[in-house]
DNA sequence: AAATGTGGAATTTTT
DNA sequence: TTCCACATTT
């Protein structure tokens, strides 16, 4: 059909979009129009009448990706995107479990534990069971549980050969029991529960298999074993799974992502006579040629690949530029200078990104940018719904919605402080244990005497007053009431640095308001229930509206929303700002210019990765992701010395620089004048140079000539003829002692300490 | 119950 | 170095 939908697609994209009703694996390279193909595929299925909105399920990893898909889709098709299941794995599982909570053996108003809540629950469990936090660090158990669940394993299925694992499995079982008792579901449990529910309920499974004739998966290389099994459960005999991914961008193995899913896909999703189709998208629409050449050359060093080579019809463009800074401070100064140059060339700051391997590296960069008055934005850190004050407010709301929520009660029973100390809590917990009840009923019983009992009674009265006052109130007003009546607002107003927290609490009211307005897409509200099973009779059109009107459902939906979508790190500010982030968080983004900093052995590739299975290859993929973020300009920097954990470390340049073809890389030499003094510096002032020599790793012990002063690698020195430089290597002792100095002007030289007149600089 | 001190760890992250 | 969690003090 002559649809504008398909206009401007290249042959491979077109092939992918218009594939017949069969499962397919789309190998989509960086910048190859992956999201476009995914959304166009859906629009095409709808436009050609091959699918109705109800028969489409599209799943992503992040809310951002789901939203983008939704937005782009509604621009492409006149058909209402409502009724389509587009969301994150967790969001869709939440929807399934709310709808079929009985089959899943969950209360309808089950609460979702985020990572913090989960850890708190584990600690609480340790207390009640007298488990030693020293011997079994709570975080370790958390990791253990998440790992097991991500492989689809319940405690009885986990293999435990050593005593430690056996204990962990026991703790895992205790944890499960506690979650079940409290109606709490952690992130991995959302997946596992809905997987098991589909597995155990044939009618339900068949219903959804019949319903979803098309399942589309984004970032398939990031799926874990459980997500893969989940997809298989939903795949019936006439379900076509359209999986889009790039094995070269698989950088999340550490959180369970299993690239092997891509290899197994063909085997597991082929049907007799209906093999899985494979389409490669290799044309890149993002980067200039040199950048792409560098990325291709780098990733060729990986041996375990499905095989793919990006190409572009764009010009070769500028060379990749590299700069070896003497120190992390100099590296930051370089970035500042070049960024200023780019800005004066008219590049918007928000189109420039500075990437690093680990968050700790942002500090030095931020410092330099701050002093140079370059506006910047750092990604990562605390998200809105993770902040303590927000969690406190939500805990009050949780307690209103579910009085038996011990976690919520413990969080706020004495916050703001109201005289309920550890002793009071101890007796409260004893009372609860004695009557086998939750903490709230125990507190209500008034059994505690004395001052403790009085304080508890005041707390109980306050919560009950709150519950009465908020009953029937619209969500935003209920939130407003709670933050005031709880004393949270007053508490933070009295705190000297509390203004931000007050602002956040007020923002929570807005968040509730926009949630109400935007949640017309009934994400958490039961909409469709299979007709097949009489126990799950179709609720019809009236039920969702009723569900929406039920304040407890709305509140639960809001709380789920808070857990599943933690919100932004910080509000986007008005003026354009330089983007600072880890390479991981840059995945999926693109910029005019990109700096990849800290390219040093030990940092990138990270030293911890060297001992991990396939660790270096994953680091290399990470570098590949970093390189392919750049459209026009790419700068690679390393520092010969760097302050790390309070100690100066001397690192050799990353192998990832060396692995790039030398003719693609232009090395820049330090500028010929003082750092930071120039105002309007042009990037071109950084001259060419040959590849710098690197200091030998680990050779940092001091050297000295006979009776002379002591010198160290990394030290700045001045020579009467050669000027300023940095000691990058040393050998010999006494009369034979020599140091290698990288001079700013004169290049790298070996000097005998006996004769050279070196002075500290 | 708040305030101050101390020890230990310090990739990467979404849900 | 710096941040955090936890312990001790006041």
Q: Tell me the nt nearest to A360, Cα to C1'.
A: B10
Instruction: Identify the CA nearest to A251 among candidates A578, A624, A514.
Output: A624
Residues of A tagged active-site: 34-35, 218-219, 249, 629
Q: Higher model confidence: residue A451 or residue A203?
A: A203
Rounded CA–C1' distance between A120 and C7, in angstroms: 19
Residue A540 reports pLDDT greater than 60: no
Tell me the average pLDDT across A60-82. Answer: 90
Beta-carbon contacts of residue A571 (< 8 Å; ≥ 6 apart): none
What was the pLDDT predicted at A192? 98
Cα distances from A229 to residues A192, A220, A272, A275, A330, in angstroms, run: 10, 13, 20, 19, 49
Protein-contacted positions of strand B (CB under 7 Å): 1-2, 9-15
What was the pLDDT predicted at A716? 77
Whole-number percent of chain A with pLDDT over 70: 89
Rounded CA–C1' distance between A421 and B15, in angstroms: 34
Q: Higher model confidence: residue A528 or residue A576?
A: A576
Residue A697 reports pLDDT greater than 90: no
What was the pLDDT predicted at A520? 52
Q: A47-58 b/e with 16+ CB inside 10 Å = b?
A: beeebebebbbb
Instruction: Identify the CA nearest to A507 among candidates A553, A554, A459, A562.
Output: A562
**A374 near A395, Cβ under 8 Å?**
no
Say how far apart CA A231 and CA A368 lie, in whole Å: 47
Stated as kind and residue range, the H or E segment containing A58 is strand A56-60
What is the per-residue pLDDT across A609-619, written as a single tens digit (0 to 9) for each? 999 999 999 99
What was the pLDDT predicted at A47? 92
Say how far apart CA A722 and CA A726 lie, in whole Å: 11
Preceding omega of A416 cis (within 30 degrees of 0): yes
Instruction: Tell me which residues have their CB below 7 A from strand B.
Output: A 61-64, 88, 90-91, 114-115, 187-188, 252, 254-255, 357-360, 380, 414, 417, 419-422, 564-566, 581-582, 584-585, 606, 608-609, 612, 615, 619, 645-646
Rounded CA–C1' distance between A645 and B10, in angstroms: 7
Residue A674 reports pLDDT greater than 80: no
Across the beta sheet with A738-743, the strand order is: A747-752, A738-743, A723-731, A716-719, A758-760
Say how far apart CA A389 and CA A404 lie, in whole Å: 21
Tell me the average pLDDT across A583-588. Answer: 96
**A708 near A734, Cβ under 8 Å?**
no
Stated as kind and residue range, the H or E segment containing A695 is none
Tell me the average pLDDT across A104-108. Answer: 94
What was the pLDDT predicted at A692? 54
Q: Tell me the nt nearest to A644, Cα to C1'.
A: C1
What is the per-residue pLDDT across A263-313, written as a single tens digit (0 to 9) for each? 999 999 998 888 999 999 999 999 999 999 999 999 999 998 988 889 999
Whole-number percent of chain A with pLDDT over 90: 63
Looking at the C1' of nucleotide B10, which residue has the nearest alpha carbon? A645
Say how far apart CA A341 and CA A684 lie, in whole Å: 8
Say how far apart CA A169 and CA A148 lie, in whole Å: 10
What is the per-residue pLDDT across A222-261, written as a single tens digit (0 to 9) for each? 999 999 999 999 999 999 999 999 999 999 999 999 999 9
| pLDDT tier for residue A396 given thresholds of 50, 70 and 90 | very high
Phi and psi at residue A339, to the nearest 5°:
-60, -45
Beta-ladder partners of A311:
A283
**Which residue blocks in A137-162 are alpha helix, DSSP H?**
138-150
Beta-ladder partners of A730:
A739
Say how far apart CA A622 and CA A355 lie, in whole Å: 11
Rounded CA–C1' distance between A646 and C2, in angstroms: 8
Write out the DSSP string of A368-427: HHHHTT--EEE--S--GGGSHHHHHHHHHHHHHH-TT-HHHHHHHTTSS--S--HHHHHH
Across the beta sheet with A56-60, the strand order is: A85-88, A56-60, A214-217, A240-245, A24-28, A277-281
Distance of CA A552 to the CA centre of its chain: 30
Rounded CA–C1' distance between A271 and B5, in angstroms: 66
What was the pLDDT predicted at A717? 83
Residue A681 reports pLDDT greater than 50: no
Q: Tell me the nt nearest to A609, Cα to C1'.
A: B11
- Least confident window among A379-388, A438-447, A591-600: A438-447
Say how far apart CA A386 and CA A567 lie, in whole Å: 8
Q: ∠ CA A79-A537-A197 to the nearest 5 degrees?
A: 85
Q: What is the number of residues in chain A?
A: 761
Q: Higher model confidence: residue A747 or residue A156?
A: A156
Looking at the C1' of nucleotide C1, which residue has the nearest alpha carbon? A646
Instruction: Tell me which residues have their CB below 7 A from strand C.
Output: A 123, 133, 363, 643, 645-646
Mean pLDDT of chain A: 87
Preceding omega of A605 cis (within 30 degrees of 0): yes
Tell me the average pLDDT across A205-215. Answer: 96
Say how far apart CA A83 and CA A76 lie, in whole Å: 16
Looking at the C1' of nucleotide B2, which residue has the nearest alpha carbon? A417
Cα distances from A9 to residues A16, A17, A31, A113, A552, in angstroms, run: 10, 9, 14, 43, 47
What was the pLDDT predicted at A740? 78
Q: Higher model confidence: residue A343 or residue A758?
A: A343
Q: Tell me the nt nearest to A647, Cα to C1'.
A: C1
What is the per-residue pLDDT across A481-523, written as a single tens digit (0 to 9) for each? 999 999 999 888 888 778 888 999 999 999 999 998 877 544 4
Tell me the average pLDDT across A573-602. Answer: 94
Say how far apart CA A593 and CA A600 lie, in whole Å: 21
**A65 near A76, Cβ under 8 Å?**
no
Q: Higher model confidence: residue A650 or residue A748?
A: A650
Q: Tell me the nt nearest to A386, Cα to C1'.
A: B15
Looking at the C1' of nucleotide B11, which residue has the nearest alpha carbon? A358
- Least confident window among A104-118, A191-205, A336-350, A546-560: A546-560
Tell me the average pLDDT across A185-192. Answer: 97
Protein-contacted positions of strand C (CB under 7 Å): 1-2, 6
Q: ∠ CA A338-A344-A348 to the nearest 5 degrees?
A: 90
HSE on the CB side for A740, CA within 13 Å? 13
Say how far apart CA A606 and CA A357 lie, in whole Å: 8
What was the pLDDT predicted at A677? 33
What was the pLDDT predicted at A260? 95
Residue A537 reports pLDDT greater than 80: no
What is the per-residue pLDDT across A701-754, written as a single tens digit (0 to 9) for each? 567 877 777 887 777 788 888 877 777 777 777 777 888 777 766 666 778 888
Rounded CA–C1' distance between A498 and B1, in angstroms: 19
Determine how β-strand A56-60 pairs with β-strand A214-217: parallel
Residue A691 reports pLDDT greater than 80: no
Q: Tell me the nt nearest to A646, Cα to C1'.
A: C1
Residue A527 reports pLDDT greater than 90: no
Rounded CA–C1' distance between A422 and B5, in angstroms: 21
Phi and psi at residue A64, to the nearest 5°:
-60, -45
Q: A344-358 b/e with 16+ CB inside 10 Å = b?
A: eeebebbbbbbbbbe
Rounded CA–C1' distance between A422 and B3, in angstroms: 18
């Amino acid at each position: 059909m002559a649809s504008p939908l398909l206009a401007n697609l290249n042959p491979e994209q077109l092939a992918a979009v218009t594939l017949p009703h069969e499962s397919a694996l789309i190998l989509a390279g960086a910048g190859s129009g992956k999201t476009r193909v995914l959304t166009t595929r859906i629009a095409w299925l709808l436009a050609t009448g091959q699918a109705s909105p109800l028969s489409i399920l599209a799943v992503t990893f992040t809310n951002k990706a789901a939203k983008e898909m939704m937005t782009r889709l509604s621009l492409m098709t006149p058909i209402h995107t409502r009724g389509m299941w587009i969301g994150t794995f967790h969001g869709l599982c939440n929807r399934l479990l709310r709808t079929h909570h009985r089959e899943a053996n969950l209360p309808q108003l089950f609460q979702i534990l985020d990572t913090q809540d989960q850890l708190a629950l584990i600690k609480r469990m340790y207390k009640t069971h007298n488990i030693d936090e020293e011997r079994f660090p709570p975080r370790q158990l958390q990791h253990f549980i998440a790992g097991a669940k991500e492989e689809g394993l319940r405690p009885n299925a986990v293999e435990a050969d050593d005593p430690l694992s056996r204990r962990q499995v026991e703790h895992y079982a205790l944890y499960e029991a506690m979650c079940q008792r409290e109606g709490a579901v952690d992130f991995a449990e959302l997946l596992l529960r809905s997987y098991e529910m589909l597995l155990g309920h044939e009618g339900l499974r068949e219903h959804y298999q019949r319903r979803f004739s098309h399942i589309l998966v984004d970032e398939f290389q990031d799926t874990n074993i459980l997500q893969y099994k989940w997809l298989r459960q939903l795949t019936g005999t006439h379900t076509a799974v359209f999986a889009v991914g790039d094995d070269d961008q698989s950088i999340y193995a550490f959180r369970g992502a299993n690239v092997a899913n891509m290899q197994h896909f063909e085997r597991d999703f082929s049907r007799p006579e209906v093999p899985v189709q494979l389409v490669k998208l290799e044309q890149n629409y993002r980067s200039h040629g040199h950048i792409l050449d560098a990325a291709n050359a780098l990733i060729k060093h990986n041996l375990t690949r499905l095989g793919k080579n990006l190409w572009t019809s764009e010009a070769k463009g500028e060379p990749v530029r590299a700069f070896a800074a003497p120190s992390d401070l100099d590296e930051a100064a370089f970035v500042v200078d070049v960024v200023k140059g780019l800005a004066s060339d008219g590049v918007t700051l928000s189109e420039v990104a500075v990437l690093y391997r680990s968050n700790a590296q942002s500090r030095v960069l931020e410092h330099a940018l701050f002093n140079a008055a370059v506006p910047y934005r750092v990604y990562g850190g605390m998200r809105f719904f993770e902040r303590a004050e927000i969690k406190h407010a939500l805990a009050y709301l949780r307690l209103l919605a579910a009085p038996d929520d011990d976690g919520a009660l413990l969080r706020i029973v004495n916050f703001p402080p109201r005289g309920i100390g550890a002793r009071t809590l101890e007796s409260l917990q004893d009372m609860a244990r004695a009557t086998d009840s939750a903490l709230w009923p125990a507190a209500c019983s008034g059994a505690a005497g004395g001052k403790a009992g009085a304080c508890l009674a005041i707390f109980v009265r306050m919560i009950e007053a709150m519950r009465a006052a908020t009953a029937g109130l619209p969500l935003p007003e209920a939130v407003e009431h709670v933050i005031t009546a709880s004393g949270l607002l007053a508490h933070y107003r009295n705190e000297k640095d509390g203004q931000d927290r007050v602002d956040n609490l007020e923002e929570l009211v807005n968040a509730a308001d926009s949630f109400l307005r935007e949640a017309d897409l009934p994400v958490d509200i039961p909409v469709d229930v299979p007709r097949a099973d009489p126990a799950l009779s179709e609720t019809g059109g009236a039920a969702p509206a009723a569900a929406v009107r039920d304040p407890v459902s709305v509140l639960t939906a809001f709380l789920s929303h808070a857990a599943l979508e933690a919100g932004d790190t910080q509000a986007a500010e008005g003026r354009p700002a330089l983007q600072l982030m880890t390479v991981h968080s840059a995945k999926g983004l693109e910029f005019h210019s990109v700096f990849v900093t800290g390219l040093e052995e030990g940092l990138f590739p990270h030293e911890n990765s060297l001992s991990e299975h396939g660790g270096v290859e994953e680091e290399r993929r990470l570098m590949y992701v970093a390189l392919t973020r750049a459209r026009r300009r790419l700068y690679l920097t390393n520092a010969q010395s760097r302050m790390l954990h309070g100690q100066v470390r001397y690192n050799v340049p990353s192998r990832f620089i060396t692995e790039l073809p030398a003719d693609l890389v232009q090395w820049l030499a330090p500028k010929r004048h003082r750092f930071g003094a120039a105002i309007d510096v042009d990037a071109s002032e950084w001259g060419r140079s040959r590849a710098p020599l690197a200091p030998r790793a680990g050779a940092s012990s001091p050297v000295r000539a006979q009776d002379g002063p002591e010198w160290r690698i990394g030290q700045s020195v001045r020579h009467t003829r050669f000027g300023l430089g940095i000691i990058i290597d040393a050998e010999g002792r006494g009369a034979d002692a020599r140091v290698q100095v990288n001079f700013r002007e004169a290049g790298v030289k070996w000097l005998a300490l006996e004769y050279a007149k070196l002075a500290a600089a």
